[in-house]
Structure 1
Amino acid sequence: EIEDLLIIKINTDSGKKNLIVKKDTRINLTEYDYPIPNYPSQYISSLRKFLKNRRILKISQHEFDRIIVIELSSKDTQSWKFVIELFNKGNFLLLDEENIIKIAKRYRIFRDREILAKKVYNFPKSQGKNFLTINKEEFKELFKNSDVQIVRDISRKIHISGLYSEEICHRGKIDKTILGKNLNEEEYETLYDSFKKLRNQLLFGQINAQIVLDQQRKQISVLPFEIDILKEYDRKIFTSFNAAVDAFFSKVDSELLKSPREQKVDD
């Protein structure tokens, strides 16, 4: 673990892979070499002991929340789980077959749940509506009385990035700064149709993974496909979204992980 990056070495049929998790940002396989500390923390040492020689049985996302669940083989009949929470500065938790917390990166007490050793793990209560299942009436109900700009409200209440929220407004030709309560019935129809098409593209569309670049060739964003609001920018195409994410964030991470001496040389 380095600078809130957790690196898990995995043996696969095609060789060894490194799975990298950035506290509240992303999870992906990486082809880049990250520096490994000579002296791991007590948490990492304990995690290594528990994870050693376990097989990955299944990887899933909990209800479209920022939570990844990796099911692991165990010596018993039932599987263990490694839970990755990609929010609130992130957390990594190992659960036994009864969902008892064996070890966690951060132990905390919230109003509706506890992250404590030897206690049952409960998923946080989902906020907003489920991106995957929300229908037209539920969509309208979320915003019809809102005093918030529609572009911000969509992002917050449906759990999508601000970039995709802006794209939804752009495709529907809706002023992104308008308040939800000021939209009429026809505009809601148009906005929901725009949302539904983007959702279908995310779920079922062809991947055209890319890093978007500005005029100085600096990275702006990494995307699974082209979006209209960034159409005029240059881009670098990749064979998979994982490869694009890996290239994008490895460059960001390399800047953050530079030693003071390296930073001085660059300056």
Structure 2
Amino acid sequence: MEAMSSLDIAAIVSELNRMLVGGRIRNVYQINRIFIFRVRTSNEDFQLLVEPGRRIHLTWYERVKPRFPPPFCMTLRKHLKHGRILSVQQYDFDRVVMLNVGFAKNRVTLVFELFGDGNIVLLDEEGKIIVAEKYASMKDRDILPKKSYLFPPSRGKDPRNISFEEFREVLAGSKGKIAAILVRNLSIGSILAEEACIRSGIEKERDVSLLSDDETRTLFETLKGLLEEVEGGINSGIVLRSEEAIIVSPVKLKTYSGGEFSWKEFESFNKAADEFYSKREELIVEEELRGEAREEEDKIQRMLETQRETLQKMIEAEEKYRRYGNLLYENIHLVSQLLEAVISARKKNYSWQEIEERIKSAKDKNLAARIFAGVKPHEGRILVELNEELI
């Protein structure tokens, strides 16, 4: 499942500030790596879903919660339950969100890292780490208990605050295709970069060195307009292709309009994101369940095959030993004579080798000696041959 872009997160955070600030955290749940924060406001109850490294949005879908929460979830409950949400912030237009929670005597900050493998880190008032989902020592920062939390290095300029002069300098100091430069230097996703190009009437694959001053100004103003649309929280929706949801966006995309594409609008980006990601989550869960069912079916088939093989061996063994029993019964007189001769010799302290030699030398004269086929001293067994069967 693809991760949210910085623009997606900006839209989500803008709405969360309007909907959650002032509400109290009633509980925290963890379902694998999906975290649900139940928040009660004066008007409504909400569920904030966070999947580290992937997404953050409100959800109206119910999920089965585990009966026994994992230790990290229990720790979050201990530090967050009944706390009041003071603000929701996006750090530097990056894929990092901070949930500031206040209590009567202190406040804490919950940091959601929505890039890479993702992480959730709880900080005290001084910005020191209380607990983290995952601890790590990295080249530029450490995620360790009681250490000061450092944000990841910035991946580019914040397009919300950039001036036209700074924007022009970014383009002038870069080489390559326009859309790729916007993605690389302004922390915006490829979809928004392509949309800005299309709305400006500029080919996204065009080399940046060929842009005129007027085109640079148009591209800048178009990008700012897109960001204002995101802040305004209008025109959020999902791009459909043949009824299949392929993209969720906080702005209506001209890039995907007409032809095989259609647009399904939602009243908020949180609802659009919830519909898009939760439906995909259902498909993933269904596929996992199908995979588990196939694996279980294969396991049962292997067990049945093993049992069939074992049963066949038992049937063959039963037939063999029945045949041996019949042969021994039919020749009980000779077998008894042979056993008596061996027992007598052992009582006289003959070795097994001597017994074997004496019996073999008597085969021409003695019928009982003729069925003798050898001995297994370590097993205490005498072998006989009856009707070409070695018993």
* TM, length-normalised to structure 2: 0.62
Give the SS at the match of 1:257: helix
Q: Verify: 1:253 aligned to 2:281, yes or no.
A: yes
Q: Is the 1:80–1:95 Cα contact (8 Å) retained in structure 2?
A: yes
Once the 2 structures are TM-superposed, how far is the Cα of residue 52 of structure 1 from its aligned partner?
2.0
Once the 2 structures are TM-superposed, how far is the Cα of residue 40 of structure 1 from its aligned partner?
2.7
Alignment correspondent of 2:203? 175
Query: 1:259 and 1:167, CA in 2 relative to 1: closer, same or farther beyond 3 A?
Result: closer
Distance 2:94 2:65 in 1: 30
Q: Verify: 1:12 aligned to 2:41, yes or no.
A: yes
* Residue-by-residue CA offset, 1:62-92 (whole Å, 9 max, x unaligned): 222222111112352x421111111122111
Q: Is the 1:3–1:257 Cα contact (8 Å) retained in structure 2?
A: no
Task: Give 1:253's aligned amino acid.
Answer: E
Distance 1:79 1:33 in 2: 29
Once the 2 structures are TM-superposed, how far is the Cα of residue 109 of structure 1 from its aligned partner?
2.1
* TM, length-normalised to structure 1: 0.89
Q: Is the 1:144–1:183 Cα contact (8 Å) retained in structure 2?
A: no
> What is the aligned counterpart of 2:150 among 99, 122, 140?
122
Alignment correspondent of 2:256? 230
Larger radius of gyration: 2
Distance 2:213 2:288 in 1: 57
Alignment correspondent of 1:187? 215
Alignment correspondent of 2:241? 214
> What is the aligned counterpart of 1:150 among 178, 193, 196?
178
Task: Give 1:157's aligned amino acid.
Answer: N
Q: Is the 1:170–1:229 Cα contact (8 Å) retained in structure 2?
A: yes
Alignment correspondent of 1:100? 128
> What is the aligned counterpart of 2:84 among 51, 55, 68?
55
Query: 1:209 and 1:189, CA in 2 relative to 1: closer, same or farther beyond 3 A?
Result: closer
Task: Give 1:66's aligned amino acid.
Answer: R
Distance 1:47 1:185 in 2: 52
Task: Give 1:114's aligned amino acid.
Answer: D
Q: Verify: 1:81 aligned to 2:109, yes or no.
A: yes
Once the 2 structures are TM-superposed, how far is the Cα of residue 20 of structure 1 from its aligned partner?
0.2
Which ranges in structure 1 are unaligned for 5 or more consecutive residues?
Answer: none
Q: Is the 1:145–1:180 Cα contact (8 Å) retained in structure 2?
A: no
* Residue-by-residue CA offset, 1:7-50 (whole Å, 9 max, x unaligned): 11222223432110121232111110122223332212222222
Q: Is the 1:167–1:229 Cα contact (8 Å) retained in structure 2?
A: yes
Which ranges in structure 2 are unaligned for 5 or more consecutive residues?
Answer: 1-29, 295-391
Task: Give 1:92's aligned amino acid.
Answer: I
Q: Is the 2:226–2:251 Cα contact (8 Å) retained in structure 1?
A: no
Count of matched residue pairs: 263
Distance 1:113 1:129 in 2: 21
Alignment correspondent of 1:38? 67
Distance 1:54 1:100 in 2: 19
Task: Give 1:142's aligned amino acid.
Answer: V
Q: Report sequence identity in percent.
A: 34
Q: Verify: 1:22 aligned to 2:56, yes or no.
A: no
Query: 1:203 and 1:177, CA in 2 relative to 1: closer, same or farther beyond 3 A?
Result: same
**Comparing 255-264 and 10-19, the one that deviates more:** 255-264
Once the 2 structures are TM-superposed, how far is the Cα of residue 255 of structure 1 from its aligned partner?
1.4
Task: Give 2:277's aligned amino acid.
Answer: F
Task: Give 1:14's aligned amino acid.
Answer: N
Once the 2 structures are TM-superposed, how far is the Cα of residue 113 of structure 1 from its aligned partner?
2.0
Once the 2 structures are TM-superposed, how far is the Cα of residue 111 of structure 1 from its aligned partner?
2.6
Distance 2:48 2:255 in 1: 31
Query: 1:124 and 1:83, CA in 2 relative to 1: closer, same or farther beyond 3 A?
Result: same
Alignment correspondent of 2:364? none
Point out 4+ residue stretches in structure 1 off by more than 6 angstroms: none
> What is the aligned counterpart of 2:270 among 226, 242, 253?
242
Give the SS at the match of 1:20: strand
Q: Which has the higher helix share?
A: 2
* Residue-by-residue CA offset, 1:109-146 (whole Å, 9 max, x unaligned): 23332211011112223221111111122112212242
Distance 2:280 2:138 in 1: 32
